[in-house]
Structure 1
Amino acid sequence: MTGPREPAKAMTTAFSPLTLGPITLRNRVIKSATNEGMAPRGVPSQALLKHHECIAAGGAALTTVAYCAVSPDARTFVDQPQLDSATRTPFRALTDAVHRHGAAASAQITHGGCFTFLPDLSTRRPLSSSGGLNKVGLMSGRFFKQAMSERDMDACAAQFAQAARLAREAGFDAVEIHMGHGYLLSQFLSPLYNHRRDAYGGSTAQRALFPLRVLRRVLDAVGRDCAVLCKIGVTEGVKGGGNAEDAAEIAQLLEAEGAHMLVLSGGMNVESVWQLFGSPLPDEARANVENPVVRAAMRLQKLTEPRFDGFREMYFLEHSRKVRAAVNLPLTYLGGVRSAANVVQAMQEGFDAVALARALLFEPGFVNRLRREADAVSGCTSCNRCVVSMYTPGGTACVLQGENDPAPNRVPAA
């Protein structure tokens, strides 16, 4: 962690190299993981390749491919890619394309736990930290979840390690273990989900035991060759959920275990989806849902949504500062970065990198413009309609730029 910097010096820092374990990034601006809807039937498409290649050409140091499932049951939905022998070749094509532009590629490895909409599972009920009523299941028809046993946890940790090895074989320079947003590992970390009475429940440190085991297995598997990152939430944004103090303690534990960098995010997919984006989802996100149960659930969620008086830049900053003060390992600030001034502030606050998503969807070359223009501001309006567009035939697109051609999304990456 470093002290305050002048604006010009802070921007110089943002475009200086950053070493993470065995790799070095060319600068400190990265593309965060988002669902692009570009892996039909679980196969990375040519559209996904071009999406990440354009961001690499646009100057980003690291582009993150989201939601790479570690097993068939780990998928959230059928069109989510799994890291296995069938996807190794298309993923290799994607990483080769990114590398041609001097950038690095990261695979976000994840397990959905009880947050799943799959028609079939190998278990009677979806696995989670605790059993009982499954809130997500009210939308998917899987009304109950199953607490993981010691054997389940050991098998799952091995799946994460194997997925990391496959990511390395596919040419990825880094893996990002997803520990946020209501997926399996955050179901252990979250006091909302974890009600266990054994060693894996109770205090923050106890709730972190299984995610720490996963991190150790992944580090042992690929840590000498790939950077191993963890994505955590700095706030769950809901009463009784995890907060910044919890996140700071979790960060200390992950640092002690050897994580190379943490990506700081927030919010939960079910309880506080608005927190992820710093603003509400558009009304069409609810109106266009075909399943009446899901539509009703989203309307109920709308009732608990706080009032927003416009979009607030750097909306996770207050929470992320507490994590920054607690640890020394590299941290990536995420949440409402859409200008050179925001990048400068993140550097001045002592963060080692910044993550962007919507701004890069609007303008894939925004990172190069940040380097050129001291007053650069993204044209992204943070309307969140791109979130809805992930379910269109062409995949995620900025509505201000028009829909994607669906043809490349029907062709495997090559």
Structure 2
Amino acid sequence: MHQNPDRSPFSPVNIGPLTLKNRFIKAATNEGMSAQGVPSRQLAKLHAGLASGGVALTTVAYCAVSRDGRTLPNQLILERDSLPHFKALTDAVHREGGKASAQITHGGCFTFIRERSTPRPLSASGGFNKIGMMSGMFLKQAMNEADMEQVVRDFAQGARLAREAGFDAVEIHMGHGYLLSQFISPLYNKRRDQYGGSLENRLRFPRRVLRAVLDAVGQDLAVVCKYSITEGVRAGNSAEDGAQIARMLEQEGAHLLVLSAGMNAESITTMFGSSFPKENRVQQKNPVIALAMALQRRMDPVVEFRELYLLEHARKVRAAVKMPLAYLGGAKSLASIEQVMAEGFDLVAMGRVLIAEPDYVNKLASGASRNSICTACNRCVAMMYTPGGTSCVLGQPGDAQLNSQRAAG
């Protein structure tokens, strides 16, 4: 274990070509602030507020690299027409002294978009699509070499567009059951060619994507990978697998790993570290989302939140690699943040805590606070479907009017 009791969470850190003023990252969370498929003024305001609140790097979630790569209607897409709106967001963040990261992703078969260029949603393997039970797309399509090459190009182009839009980093989403995760996970990848079978083979395509992104922007932007260090479900990847995955991503040259966990469909409590309240499941106007949440509730066990709920798994990754790592999972007090730093993690990523208190980092730095007001109730997740987008139930809801306006006016 890498012990460093003297490391301060408020000290600067280098991530590839990027220098951050402190060790705090706003983790990617779906804010529901892209009603027209581009950043809204509310989304720009949110991320600017996080920067002014002390966060060094704020992550803009779920920027699809193609229209086929979207998971939900109106999801953010990195394409040329959307650049002025992304640029308005990054300019707002920079004015407040922060840096911005674009999370680039492709949903694969985890999608509710029926209008697409392929007959069926793409994935590592074909056959029955369990996600399609909620969207009517009951079959998925195994990717061939031409499909893979196109997706590699899409990720590289998405990264270049992110650079043009003023982002300081890109985060390649390799977790939670999206396309790259579908290759990594034995739950989804049943291939018998060079992209299936062993863990090394299952990482072959995600590594191609990482290499293409590094070649495209790695001299200018930090290239981050977010992945599930454990999938939290029988027959899925374990934390030991997560450590091996980290070694391979380190070998490929990633600048930073964000250590998440769980899968959207199979093990969402592993991701959040606690169960979702009943009202998150049943008070949804969108019937598809309501059904999805109801099914998850039936599948998931009741889990009580505890701080640093992923630390035992993350330690295995820390012991396996020397590269920078961002701990994610239940850090909601200065004591837990300092413990993460002392155990050798380079940064801490927080989601719910910073939705509850965008200025939490400044409060910690000034001594005004030690413990977050966040209760890890997970109600903020359901709030992303409200007109104002994601907000903490302990505070004010988002501004529905700003959320209906494009960031660049």
1:129 to 96, 106, 124: 124
Does structure 1 residue 19 correspond to structure 2 residue 14? yes
2:68 to 63, 73, 76: 73
SS of the equivalent of 1:60 reads coil
Paired letter, 1:322: K
Measured after TM superposition, the shift of residue 285 of structure 1 is 2.3
Structure 2 segments unaligned to the other structure (5+ residues)? none
Q: How far, CA to CA, are the matches of 1:91 and 1:293 in structure 2?
A: 29
Output aligned runs, 1:3-42, within 5 Å.
3-5=3-5, 9-10=6-7, 13-42=8-37
Measured after TM superposition, the shift of residue 300 of structure 1 is 3.8
Q: Is the 8 A contact 1:312 1:336 kept in 2?
A: yes
> What do the CA deviations read for 1:249-274 (whole angstroms, capped 9, x no partner)?
11101101100000000111100112
2:347 to 344, 353, 372: 353
Q: How far, CA to CA, are the matches of 1:293 and 1:102 in structure 2?
A: 40
1:370 to 364, 371, 374: 364
The more displaced of 289-298 and 332-341 is 289-298
Paired letter, 1:168: R
1:272 to 258, 267, 270: 267
**TM-score, structure 1 normalization:** 0.96
Alignment root-mean-square deviation, CA:
1.4
Does structure 1 residue 189 correspond to structure 2 residue 152? no
Measured after TM superposition, the shift of residue 2 of structure 1 is 4.3
> What do the CA deviations read for 1:61-118 (whole angstroms, capped 9, x no partner)?
1000000000000001111110011110011111111111221100000000000011
Counterpart in the other structure of 1:212: 207
Q: Is the 8 A contact 1:74 1:110 kept in 2?
A: yes
Output aligned runs, 1:373-412, within 5 Å.
373=367, 376-412=370-406
Q: How far, CA to CA, are the matches of 2:220 and 2:247 in structure 1?
A: 23
Paired letter, 1:287: V
Q: Is the 8 A contact 2:36 2:406 kept in 1?
A: no
Counterpart in the other structure of 1:327: 321
Counterpart in the other structure of 1:164: 159
> What do the CA deviations read for 1:286-314 (whole angstroms, capped 9, x no partner)?
21245667645543432332232x31110
Change over 3 Å in CA distance of 1:89–1:37 after alignment to 2: same
Counting matched residue pairs gives: 408
Output aligned runs, 1:26-175, within 5 Å.
26-175=21-170
Change over 3 Å in CA distance of 1:244–1:169 after alignment to 2: same
- Identity percentage of aligned residues: 61
Q: How far, CA to CA, are the matches of 2:63 and 2:295 in structure 1?
A: 30
Structure 1 segments unaligned to the other structure (5+ residues)? none
Counterpart in the other structure of 2:294: 299
Q: Is the 8 A contact 2:309 2:330 kept in 1?
A: yes
Counterpart in the other structure of 1:286: 281
Paired letter, 1:95: T
Paired letter, 1:260: H
**TM-score, structure 2 normalization:** 0.97
SS of the equivalent of 2:36 reads helix
Q: Is the 8 A contact 2:90 2:165 kept in 1?
A: yes
SS of the equivalent of 2:363 reads helix
